[in-house]
Amino acid sequence: MMLIKRILLLCLICVSFISNAQILESYPDGMEFYKGGRVEFYKQFHKILLEKNLKPCDDKNEFYHLEIVVYPDSTIKFVKQDSAKISNSKCTFDLTRIVLKYMKDWTPAEVDGKKEAALVKIQIFADDLFEKYVDSYLPEMYSKAPEFEGGIQEFRKKVANSIDTRRFSTKASVKFTVEATFAINSEGKIEDVKLSKETDSKDFNEMILASIKSIKKKWKPATYHDIPVKYHFRLPLTFNFD
- 126 and 39 belong to one structural domain: yes
Whether residue 184 sits in one domain with residue 116: no
Q: What is the pTM assigned to this prediction?
A: 0.67
19 sits in which H/E element: helix 2-19
Shared-domain flag, residues 125 and 218: no
Q: Is 120 part of a structural domain of the chain?
A: yes
* Greatest mean pLDDT range, 30-44, 79-93, 182-196: 30-44
CB 106 within 8 A of CB 34: yes
Measure the CA–CA gap between 50 and 25, rounded to whole angstroms.
32
**Residue 174 DSSP SS3:** strand
126 and 166 share a domain?
no
If asked whether residues 104 and 192 sit together in one domain, one would say no
Domain boundary among 85, 112, 137: 137
Is there a single domain that holds both residue 88 and residue 186? no
Flag whether 236 is in a domain. Answer: yes
- Domain end call among 102, 137, 172: 137
Mean pLDDT lowest among 14-18, 48-52, 191-195 = 14-18
Strand partners, 160: none
131 and 187 in one domain?
no
Helices (H), 101-180: 152-161
What's the CATH number where 183 sits?
3.30.1150.10
**Cα-based distances in Å from 71 to 106, 112, 203, 235:** 9, 16, 32, 26
Question: What residues make up the domain containing 169?
Answer: 152-241
DSSP helix/strand/coil, 62: coil
Domain for residue 197, yes or no?
yes
Residue 14, in any domain of the structure: no
- Name the domain count of the chain: 2
Q: Quick one: 132 and 157 in the same domain?
A: no
| C-alpha distance from residue 86 to each of 62, 89, 93, 206, 221 (Å) | 11, 5, 7, 32, 20
Taking the C-alpha atoms of residue 69 and residue 87, their distance in angstroms, rounded to an integer, is: 21
Percent of the chain with pLDDT over 90: 57
Is the separation of the CB atoms in 73 and 122 below 8 Å? no
Cβ neighbours of residue 115 closer than 8 Å, sequence gap 6 or more = 72, 108, 109
Quick check: 7 pLDDT over 50? no
User: Which of 110, 137, 164 lies at the terminal end of a domain, its last residue?
Assistant: 137
Q: What are 78-136's pLDDT values in tens digits?
A: 998 777 778 888 999 999 999 999 999 999 999 999 999 999 999 999 999 999 999 99
154 three-state secondary structure: helix
CA dist 172 and 181 (Å) reads: 29
158 found inside a domain: yes
